[in-house]
């Protein structure tokens, strides 16, 4: 993504904005240093699972923050503005998936006192190979996701401050890597709490200022409805549609179960609490917490869209990538109040750092527990040496993450790219856990063959999807009211409305939009 892919307006942050951003980065580093020096880890158990004594509420918030990335702040409002609200209906699945995880997955894994979730597979099938395959799957999935979340904030930072993309990615990557590697899980959990508060503040600020400009939230939803952005309760059974209620709910159940039930980041969190009851409540609390945060992202999307409904910045050429619409909005309407741009950037960086730190810590746990500790050379070392090796793993994965961020920077559509890459790998991994838990006659041969076949099928479909030049169409866009905007200088003229069109869709790889407007 080049510099001209962002916005065509002047950029800049005030001194107050920089103070807010530096405060976040300094606070995160302080928490990491504090836990490295004053809460010094004595073993890998202290470092990776917090001595299994983490408090309930911070752990629940950390679990939420780990799930939320900059994709919520950038990708979700862009998804609403250009494709509609249908994907929000995945939230319906929370009332099914979270109790399933809380009362089946959590008790099973918690009682085993696991550090790596994939230890369970070896115990269940009495086979190390299936554990190895699952661990490798997790590592691949995590690195792909990390590449996206470390790149996403660079869009906004470039927009509002002029920072080169590579400076943003390297800075966020190094800071997240440093405090995670030295502070362990305790540092990750407490920085997640700080970052979660800032994420909430950033979303609320977008909603409040955007709604004020157009006359309130009710007006934002009215405008969104009139322009076809509110798409709910679509029960069309066609599996080739991009998003329908059925697709979102069914997909949401599997996605939430995979993410919170057997993903290493989640297992590591709830297994770090002091009691099984706390572990269960860590999960149940995320029903309202996750629904609230994700809903705020969609509400922000409605507000941003309503402000540009009759003068869309993609259509006019003011931005050339839909993921830049939120930074563009912030730069337009936040810059007059010192500190607000800094709050937005801090919330975006927080979303990225929370995911970065959680995944780096989890990857260090998996690679140590499932690989290094299985080798006598490492298992015979004393606790301090094992701890130092685990920290070194955290630094190593952090540097690899930065490199992958540069690869991801060539992809557009953050939300779709992430779900395509991560979902393709996540599906077979969830499958092997489901047969381990619910199919007592399943054996190691079926588990190994099933996972390998699942990966082969997923890779085939993903390869086809990522190599198509055709992209999902935008819903109708308009610049008919641009002449009334004092800031408007259109690159393409006014009084023009376009519709999305998706010629020759190859249904196997790329689903079509549930709304196909006429040209």
Q: Which two tokens stand for residue 161?
A: 């401050």
Integer CA distances (angstroms), 357 to 1, 26, 181, 182, 458, in order:
25, 15, 8, 11, 27
Structure tokens at 50: 């917090």
If you count them, how many residues does the chain have?
A: 519
CA–CA distance, 268 with 410 (Å, rounded to integer): 32
Q: What is the mean pLDDT of the chain?
A: 80
Whole-angstrom Cα distance, residue 514 to residue 236?
A: 9
Helices (H), 215-275: 217-226, 245-256, 264-270
The better pLDDT of the pair 135, 228 is held by: 135
The answer, yes or no, to whether residue 492 has pLDDT greater than 90, is no
In three-state secondary structure terms, 76 is helix
Whole-number Å distance between alpha carbons of 425 and 230: 31
CB atoms within 10 A of CB 203: 25
Answer whether residue 144 shows pLDDT above 80: no
Report in angstroms the alpha-carbon separations of 75 from 83, 349, 408. 11, 14, 14
Q: What is the mean pLDDT of residues 103-118?
A: 91
pLDDT average, residue stretch 488-504: 39
* Enclosing H/E stretch for 478: strand 477-478
Calculate what percentage of the chain has a pLDDT beyond 90. 14
CA distance 112 to 367: 19
Beta strand pairing status for 477-478 and 497-498?
Answer: antiparallel
pLDDT per position as a tens digit, 436-453: 999 889 998 988 898 888
- Top pLDDT among 309 and 69 is at 309
pLDDT tens-place string over residues 131-141: 998 998 888 87
Q: Does residue 487 surpass a pLDDT of 60?
A: no
Residue with more model confidence, 470 or 518: 470
Of the pLDDT bands very low, low, confident and very high (cuts 50, 70, 90), residue 510 is very low
Q: Average pLDDT for residues 232-261, to the nearest whole number?
A: 83
pLDDT tens profile 19-72 = 888 888 888 888 888 877 777 777 787 788 877 888 999 999 998 888 777 778
* DSSP-H helix ranges across 271-334: 276-284, 286-308, 313-316, 325-334
At 418, is the pLDDT very low, low, confident or very high (cuts 50, 70, 90)?
low
DSSP 241: B
Identify which has the larger pLDDT, 103 or 147.
103
pLDDT of residue 90: 84
What is the pLDDT at residue 469? Answer: 55
Q: What is the pLDDT of residue 516?
A: 34
Contacts of 232 (CB under 8 A, 6+ apart): 85, 86, 89, 245
Distance CA 33, CA 31 (A): 6
Q: What Rg, from alpha-carbon coordinates, does the chain have?
A: 23
Is residue 356 within 8 A of residue 177, CB to CB? The reply is: yes
Q: Give pLDDT, residue 496.
A: 38
Q: What is the mean pLDDT of residues 118-141?
A: 89
CA gap 302, 401 in Å, rounded: 33
Range with the lowest mean pLDDT among 136-150, 247-261, 292-306? 136-150
Asked if residue 199 lies in contact with residue 351, where contact means CB atoms within 8 angstroms, the answer is: yes
SS3 of the chain: helix, strand, coil, percent, to 5? 75, 0, 25
Write the CA distances from 76 to 30, 150, 296, 346, 360, integer angstroms: 31, 17, 10, 18, 24
Helix (H) or strand (E) holding 407: helix 383-408
Residues 322 and 75: their CA atoms lie apart, in Å, by 9
Nearest to 391 by CA among 356, 373, 364, 372: 364
Evaluate whether 444 touches 126 at the Cβ level (below 8 Å).
yes
The count of C-alpha atoms lying within 13 angstroms of the C-alpha of 463, restricted to the half-sphere facing its C-beta, is 6
Alpha-carbon torsion (388, 391, 397, 401), positive or negative:
negative
- CA dihedral in degrees (456, 460, 462, 467; nearest 10)? 150
Least confident of 131-140, 249-258, 317-326: 317-326
* Alpha carbons 367 and 144: distance in angstroms, whole number: 16
Q: What pLDDT does residue 255 have? A: 85
Are 350 and 24 in contact by the 8 Å Cβ rule? The answer is yes
Rounded Cα distance between 121 and 126, Å, is 8
The beta-strand segments (E) located in 459-509 are 477-478, 497-498
Average confidence (pLDDT) over 347-357: 84
Question: Does the pLDDT at position 329 exceed 70?
Answer: yes
Of 197-211, 303-317, 402-416, which one has max mean pLDDT?
197-211
Query: CA-CA distance, 444 to 332, in Å (whole number)?
Result: 58
pLDDT at 139: 85
- Asked whether the CA dihedral 199, 429, 261, 181 is positive or negative, the reply is negative
Bridge partners, residue 498, by sequence: 477
pLDDT in tens, 68-102: 777 788 888 888 888 888 878 888 888 999 999 99
Q: How confident is the model at residue 421 (pLDDT cuts 50, 70, 90)?
A: low
Per-residue confidence (pLDDT) for residue 411, from 0 to 100? 56
Distances (CA, A) of 122 to 45, 131, 341, 427, 482: 20, 5, 49, 19, 62
Confidence class of residue 278 from pLDDT cuts 50, 70 and 90? Answer: very high
Instruction: Look at residue 113 and tell me whether its pLDDT is greater than 70.
Output: yes
Alpha-carbon torsion (10, 16, 17, 22), positive or negative: positive
Contact call for residues 346 and 198 (beta carbons, < 8 A): yes
- Say if residues 29 and 194 touch (Cβ distance below 8 Å): no
């Amino acid at each position: 993504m080049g510099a001209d892919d962002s916005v065509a307006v002047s950029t800049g942050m005030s001194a107050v904005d920089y103070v807010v951003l530096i405060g976040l980065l300094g606070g995160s580093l302080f928490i990491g240093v504090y836990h490295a020096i004053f809460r010094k880890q004595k073993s890998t158990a202290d470092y990776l699972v917090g001595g299994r004594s983490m408090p309930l509420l911070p752990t629940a918030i950390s679990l939420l923050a780990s799930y939320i990335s900059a994709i919520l702040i950038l990708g979700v409002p862009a998804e609403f503005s250009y494709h509609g609200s249908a994907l929000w209906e995945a939230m319906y699945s929370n009332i099914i998936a979270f109790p399933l995880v809380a009362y089946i997955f959590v008790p099973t894994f918690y009682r085993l006192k696991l550090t790596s979730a994939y230890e369970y597979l070896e115990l269940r099938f009495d086979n190390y190979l299936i554990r190895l395959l699952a661990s490798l799957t997790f590592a691949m999935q995590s690195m792909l996701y990390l590449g996206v979340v470390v790149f996403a904030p660079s869009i906004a930072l470039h927009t509002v401050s002029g920072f080169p993309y590579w400076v943003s990615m390297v800075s966020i990557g190094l800071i997240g890597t440093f405090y995670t590697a030295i502070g362990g899980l305790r540092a990750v959990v407490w920085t997640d709490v700080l970052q979660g508060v800032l994420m909430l503040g950033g979303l609320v600020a977008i909603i409040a200022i955007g709604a004020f400009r157009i006359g309130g939230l009710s007006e934002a939803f009215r405008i969104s409805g009139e322009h076809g952005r509110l798409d709910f309760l679509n029960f069309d059974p066609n599996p080739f549609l991009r998003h329908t209620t059925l697709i979102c709910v069914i997909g949401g159940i599997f996605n939430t179960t995979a993410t919170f039930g057997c993903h290493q980041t989640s297992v590591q969190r709830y297994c770090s609490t002091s009691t099984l009851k706390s572990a269960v409540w860590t999960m149940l609390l995320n029903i309202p917490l996750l629904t609230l945060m994700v809903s705020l992202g969609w509400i922000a999307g409605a507000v941003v869209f309503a402000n540009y409904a009759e003068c869309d910045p993609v259509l006019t050429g003011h931005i050339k990538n839909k993921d830049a619409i939120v930074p563009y909005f912030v730069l337009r309407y936040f810059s007059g109040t010192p500190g607000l741009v800094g709050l937005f950037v801090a919330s975006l960086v927080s979303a990225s750092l929370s995911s970065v730190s959680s995944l780096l810590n989890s990857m260090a746990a998996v690679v140590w527990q499932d690989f290094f500790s299985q080798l006598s050379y490492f298992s015979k070392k004393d606790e301090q040496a094992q701890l130092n090796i685990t920290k070194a793993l955290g630094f190593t994965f952090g540097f690899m993450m930065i490199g992958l961020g540069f690869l991801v920077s060539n992809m557009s559509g953050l939300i779709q790219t992430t779900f395509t890459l991560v979902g393709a790998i996540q599906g077979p991994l969830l499958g092997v856990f489901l047969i381990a838990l619910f199919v007592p006659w399943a054996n190691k041969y079926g588990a190994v063959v099933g996972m390998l076949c699942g990966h082969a099928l997923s890779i085939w479909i993903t390869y086809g999807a990522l190599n198509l030049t055709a992209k999902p169409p935008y819903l109708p866009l308009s610049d008919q009211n641009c002449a009334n905007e004092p800031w408007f200088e259109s690159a393409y003229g006014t009084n023009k409305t376009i519709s999305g069109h998706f010629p020759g869709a190859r249904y196997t790889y790329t689903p079509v939009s549930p709304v196909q407007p006429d040209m």
